[in-house]
Amino acid sequence: FGHAGVGAGSGGAGYDPTIFADFGDILGGLGDLFGVGGGGRRGGVRRGADLRYDLEISFAEAATGTETTLQIPREEPCDTCGGSGSAPGSTPQKCGQCQGRGQVRFQQGFVTVARTCPACGGVGRVIAKPCQSCHGQGRIGRERNLTVKIPAGIGTAQRLRLTGEGEHGGRGAPPGDLYVVVHVGDHAFFQRDGDDLLCNIPVTFPTLALGGEIKIPTLTDPTTIQIPQGTQADTRFRLRGKGMPNVNSRGHGDLYVRVQVAVPTKLSGDQKSLLEELDATMSNRAFEPVPADTGADEERPFFDRVKDIFG
């Protein structure tokens, strides 16, 4: 599945509240697939850090969906103390500074201000005898294997949210979430625009002039379309429901086929003679000039121009 990395950005594990701002959410698929939770609650115990994992998949895997196993380096509850941070046989004690409330209050003029207790970090308890394995943190670093189902139709920069699979909060705090950010590879000849696909198909001049049937590749099995007599180069054909599956429904996008003239680079003697005979019969025919293209329409995305044609 290509390169993948865990962490806030390109570094190691950690939380950055801005790293998911530019990624679209998927409302369906695996786990809890919607917005990003914060790095922790205001005041009190802070939840574990969120993690990001960049996953590369092929175009075919995005079209059909796939399942893969991720190796996630993260912090998990300490086996020795069970995540409490206290040495075996001891328990955390109530914080003497905040009396177990996790906050301290002080007067600032006429206003009473509450802040997270600096002694216990908002937990309300302090470690009298720290665990030797985790040094009182309640968590240790290890690698975990997670099986993830990638839904069909997923696109680049879309993400999957796995609730509770981020960093362990430590000392009783809830864990963060894991966000799998997907990157889809290019296809050999399909171009993608959302759920719609485009491909260019070379067709011989006789087929365009006389009409005929041509075979078209799709994401599943090849299909055929009928080329009308006198079809011009760059004519577009629309195959409904032959595009990518929609990640949130059972529907599919459309496949747009653009025919192009296949000009041979080498001709046999007979082929050359036949073309010369054809050219002789057409050389005296007057063709109407075509208005010059201003270029304004060419600046628009190709898919927009194609969809204008088909409404």
Least confident among 6-10, 11-15, 77-81, 148-152: 11-15
pLDDT digits (tens, 9 = 90+) for 109-140: 888 899 999 988 888 889 889 999 998 888 88
What whole-number percentage of the chain has pLDDT above 90?
53
Of 170-174, 186-190, 247-251, where does the model show the most confidence? 186-190
pLDDT over 60 at 235, yes or no: yes
Q: What is the pLDDT of residue 250?
A: 83
Q: Residue 57 phi/psi, 5° resolution? A: -130, 160
**Distance in angstroms between the alpha carbons of the first and the last residue of the chain:** 38
Number of Cβ within a 10 Å radius of residue 238: 17
Reading the block at residue 56, the tokens are 């590369």
pTM here is 0.67
Q: Is residue 285 classed exposed, middle or buried when 0-12, 13-18 and 19+ CB atoms within 10 A define those classes?
A: exposed
Helix, strand, coil content of the chain in percent (nearest 5)? 10, 30, 55
Q: Say if residues 87 and 128 touch (Cβ distance below 8 Å).
A: no
Residue 151: which of 274, 44, 67, 40 has the closest Cα?
A: 67
Picking from 32, 33, 71, the residue whose alpha carbon sits closest to that of residue 55 is: 71
DSSP symbols for 121-150: TTSSEE-SSB-TTTTTSSEEEEEEEEEEEE
Of 136, 149, 146, 139, nearest to 175 by C-alpha is 139
Specify whether domain 187-265 bears CATH 1.10.260.40: no
Mean pLDDT of 21-38: 40
What is the SS3 assignment for 271? helix
Residue 248 pLDDT > 60:
yes
Identify whether the C-beta of residue 153 lies closer than 8 Å to the C-beta of residue 63. yes
Helix (H) or strand (E) holding 34: none
Domain coordinates of the chain in residue numbers?
1-80+136-186, 187-265
Assigned CATH class of 1-80+136-186? mainly beta
* Contact in structure between 247 and 151 (CB atoms under 8 Å): yes
Q: What is the mean pLDDT of residues 135-158?
A: 93
Tell me if domain 1-80+136-186 and domain 187-265 are identical in fold: yes
Distances (CA, A) of 146 to 3, 38, 151, 184: 16, 22, 16, 20
- In single-letter form, the type of residue at position 290 comes to V
